[in-house]
Amino acid sequence: MSTLRRWVQIMNNDKVEGLVPEWAVEPVNPHETLQPVQGEPQQLQQAALQEEQESVQVQVLYDFNAESPEELTCNAGDRVIVQEEVDGWLLCNIPGTSRSGLVPASYVAGYE
């Protein structure tokens, strides 16, 4: 599968880490005040919808308990959207939630 987008790991003001699409962030000087993301909300929403439509949805075969902040805890039977493959791992998100992270490729059905 080709890479649909690049992901970066970020930390918010509450020191919570997570993965976000590269297009959604821009580097800042840690001593500067953060500014809102530039762009029309509708354009950003359309870009996200297009990326989701280009993504592959698969079913999780086995329970997976995340052992690091980069991984996604999910249960057998969950449907996840594959964003990217990274060395035998799939960067996935659970539809309708903000939960995303890595899942072993061998734990899902329907992904080639």
The 3-state DSSP class for residue 111 equals coil
Cβ atoms 98, 72 nearer than 8 A: no
Rg (CA), the chain: 15
pLDDT of residue 64: 95
pTM of the model: 0.54
The C-alpha atoms of residue 47 and residue 109 are separated, in whole angstroms, by 27
pLDDT of residue 48: 60
**Amino acid at site 22:** E
pLDDT of residue 3: 40
Q: Domain 7-24+39-109 in CATH: superfamily?
A: SH3 Domains (2.30.30.40)
pLDDT truncated to tens, each residue of the chain (112 aa)? 334 456 667 776 677 777 777 666 666 666 655 555 555 566 656 666 666 556 688 899 999 999 988 899 999 999 998 888 888 899 988 888 888 899 999 999 877 6
Among residues 69, 60, 47, 49, which one has the least CA distance to residue 106?
Answer: 60
Q: Domain coordinates of the chain in residue numbers?
A: 7-24+39-109
pLDDT of residue 66: 92
Sign of CA dihedral 1, 10, 95, 62: positive
